[in-house]
Chain A
Amino acid sequence: MRYPRVPRSLGALAAVAAVLVVAACGGSGGGGDAAAPGGPITYADWQIDGAGRGDALKAAVEGFAQSPGGSPVTIDQIAFPQYQDTLLTQLGGGTGPDVFNVTVDDFYNLQSQGLLGDLAGTVTQPASDFIAADKYAFVDGKRYGVIHSVQNYALFINKDLFAKAGLNPPTTYDEFRADAHALTTADTFGFALRHSTSDPAGWWYDLSNWVYGFGGRWSTDDGTPTVNSPAVKQGVAAFADMVASKDHPYGSDGATNRRMFWEGKLAMMIDNAAVPATLLGNNPNLNLQVVKVPFPTDSTVIIPIFTATNADGKQPEQAGKFVDYWLSKPVQDKLSTDTRGNIMATSLEPPQSLLAQSPWLQTFSDGTKDAALALPAGYEENANQFRDAVLREIDQVITNGKSVDQALDDAQNAVQALKR
């Protein structure tokens, strides 16, 4: 049987249609598209999130357009729980922003895949100009990013609620638990932490603070997992005990916890150096005190955040200029002030004026000495799988009452299997 022939003109029509479809599908641009030099750049971050600190960061980013040789910046603000996945998907597809911020958790993964631009010729300042965490931006002696800021953790206290209850900030773990209980009323909770599967990164940081505070680590420096070590078990048991207690709002997420805090419905939370500006941006009258976390050891999580450029970006030259602009003294000084004392790239010696304005800066600055990465050594490239394996077991402890011993033994086996 012969099928009817399609006339040549109609074949041409179909070909034109195909070209149009392909053009439409590829319209959003691939990494290899040529772009006019000196044109606008795209910048991705999760921290530009409104009142307080977010506004300060946004103003600084947009200021690049007015700087010598600068250009307009399109900001891609992505919520933190979605940030990692979105960024990696974009970069893996050969697209994505020209400049972006990335936590240490993803930095090495991106670098190992060749997705980060080499900044050797771009960052001309000596490393001694930057805070210590800048050392993590080097791989095999080559610079693939520059430290943007560090976030370590401390205990946030609502002074008004403590004063009302006649309490002082806790200095030991027992005092902390007693205070959390005493400050829980019909209208307030004593303490809150993140423990939700919808925000595994936030959950991991909070959990790691407890583990480190009890003297544990997820792995040794040579990459041997220590998930079921006695110290980790102690930290996890304390964490699970707090989640199960009525002193804590079970089911709340990070955003809710912070909102409760600035609304005076939460007496304590362990949070990072970026948060005071957000809290005070939403409630300037908040009576905030920040003290060191009163766990058995002083160790907390530190999250270095790096500014990096896209190896496949369309505007490599402008991206480099942006990094140079960002590290300039006027921008850094203004950021330190406007973010209410964040530890930024060049915040080596916070001036007294800044300490007077943001007294918690000293607490955070002191805390960096004993702080450690939440990223398990030896698992830099599959850190998320490590995290998922551990959190899945801890979810069983919190939700189904599985024993901490059994859960962490199972988690240890799971993370060991990742290495094989």
Chain B
Amino acid sequence: MTVAQVAAPARRPARRAGGFGLALVAPTVLLLLLVQAYPLVEGLRLSFTQTALARPRAGSYVGLDNYAELLADPRLGKILWVTLVYTVASVLGSLVLGLVAAMVMNVGIRGRGLLRAILTVPWAAPGVATALVFIWMLDSQYGITNWALTRLPFVDSYQRWLNDPALAMPAVVAVTIWKVFPFAAIALLAALQAIPGELYEAAKVDRATALNRFRQVTMPGIAPTVLTLALFLTIWSFRRFELIWLLTGGGPVDATNTLMIDLYRESFRNRQLGYGSAIGVVGLVLSVAAAVVYFVVSRRLGRRYGGAG
């Protein structure tokens, strides 16, 4: 039997499977075109126009004016810095806390199933509800946080959690981590459970310390998951809106004014859809840049550990 003879019968089923497969993915592709590609293209188009929110179809073409105005805005540097601080802090915090929670759950403790169920609550809770609950908890006059803190002997005054520029960002990051870390924990728990127990036993036989076992066995085992999580969490943090908007509205003095908050403010509060869209395009470019960094790092890690990447 020649190679051609072997290959020929295999091609016909492949063709049928291809057509059928295309049909299966068609609804998804159409949906994505409608809810992803169309807004993307429309956003890009709007960024070259001066368009009022009240009449989104009556804009006039202004070329690169919106981008020129955005780049000339002295606030842009601070907005990007705030976005970076928020993204890095919330991603790192969620990953670290998620890893700690996953490792605790990975140990055979009693009530592990219940713990896992409880852990999903913050992730499952709607973002708006979460923000409103934390607004109450962090309220400078009625909040339980200040009430509890002032029971301590060394705290004698209420803190302005959401109104003090020094506290607003830590408060928003803390709420974000509380909301997001369960997702990281559950994903990392799955990765931890996929590491063969024999590897830990062999390391113990070699008298590896706990730290070494973590570095040499655990980390390589969960590295691909950590990397994928980091990408998702970065993009989600980058475009997170409802938590920040409801907690602080971007204030005080722009201390929590991320790119997405500024986009909303310009588009919907100041009603400048064109300028807001230009901010959105800058955000998109930065998100793509984050994804590119992910793929580069992922490939290098893949080479280093010889696994997926």
Contacts and interface: CB of A to CB of B under 8 A. Distances in A.
Contact of B265 (A18, A89, A388): A388
A24 to B, nearest CB: 9
Contacts of A199: 249
Contacts of B248: 197-198
Contact of B251 (A3, A114, A395): A395
Given A92-B54, A250-B140, A395-B251, 18 more contacts: A4-B18, A6-B19, A6-B22, A6-B23, A10-B19, A13-B26, A17-B30, A18-B30, A88-B53, A89-B268, A110-B54, A113-B54, A198-B251, A250-B163, A251-B140, A251-B160, A385-B272, A399-B164
14 contacts: A7-B19, A10-B19, A85-B268, A89-B53, A92-B55, A113-B54, A115-B54, A199-B249, A251-B140, A251-B141, A256-B141, A392-B253, A395-B251, A400-B253
Contacts of A388: 265, 269-270
Nearest to A13: B23
- For the complex of A and B, list the 8 residue pairs with the smallest distance between their C-beta atoms, beginning with the closest: A197-B251, A198-B249, A251-B140, A251-B163, A10-B23, A14-B26, A113-B54, A251-B160
B251 A196 contact: yes
Given A113-B54, A384-B270, A395 B252 contact: yes
Nearest to A18: B30
Nearest to B167: A251
Contacts, number: 125
Interface residues of B, number: 45
A225 B20 CA distance: 66
Contacts of A18: 26-27, 30
What band does the interface of chain A fall in when counting residues whose beta carbon is under 8 Å from B? Answer: 35 or more
Nearest to B31: A21
B140 A14 contact: no
B27 A92 contact: no
Contacts of A252: 139-141
A21 B30 contact: yes
Contacts of A251: 139-141, 160-164
B249 to A, nearest CB: 4
Do most interface residues of chain A lie in helix, strand or loop, or is the interface mixed? helix
B71 to A, nearest CB: 16
B34 interface: yes
B227 to A, nearest CB: 34
Interface string A19-40: 0011001000000000000000
A114 B58 CA distance: 12
Given A3-B18, A10-B19, A22-B34, A93 B26 contact: no
B56 interface: yes
Interface in A13-69: 13-14, 17-18, 21-22, 25
B165 interface: yes
B160 A109 contact: no
Interface in B193-224: none
Nearest to A91: B54
A5 interface: yes
B262 to A, nearest CB: 11
A10 B24 CA distance: 9
Interface in A336-364: none
A382 interface: yes
A353 B245 CA distance: 46
A251 to B, nearest CB: 4
B52 interface: yes
Interface string B221-256: 000000000000000000000000111111111100
A396 interface: yes
B271 interface: yes
Nearest to A260: B141
Nearest to A11: B23
Interface string B4-48: 000000000011101110110011001100110000000000000
A384 B31 CA distance: 36
A398 B141 CA distance: 19
A281 interface: no
Contacts of B249: 196-200
Given A4-B15, A10-B19, A21 B34 contact: yes
B61 interface: no
B142 interface: yes
A244 B55 CA distance: 41
A308 to B, nearest CB: 13
Contacts of A398: 252
B193 to A, nearest CB: 38
Contact of B269 (A25, A85, A110, A256): A85
A265 B23 CA distance: 66
A17 B14 CA distance: 24
Contacts of A89: 53, 268
A265 B272 CA distance: 41
A416 B55 CA distance: 24
Contacts of A260: 141
B26 A249 contact: no
Interface in A108-140: 109-110, 113-115
A249 B141 contact: yes
B200 to A, nearest CB: 48
Contacts of B27: 14, 17-18, 21
A403 B42 CA distance: 43
A311 B34 CA distance: 28
A260 B142 CA distance: 9
Nearest to A389: B270
A65 to B, nearest CB: 31
Contacts of A250: 140, 160, 163
Nearest to B264: A85
Nearest to A111: B54
Contacts of A399: 164-165, 252-253
Nearest to B29: A14
A113 B52 CA distance: 9
Contacts of B165: 399-400
Nearest to A20: B27
B268 A396 contact: no
Given A10-B22, A17-B26, A197 B268 contact: no
B140 A249 contact: yes
Contacts of B272: 385
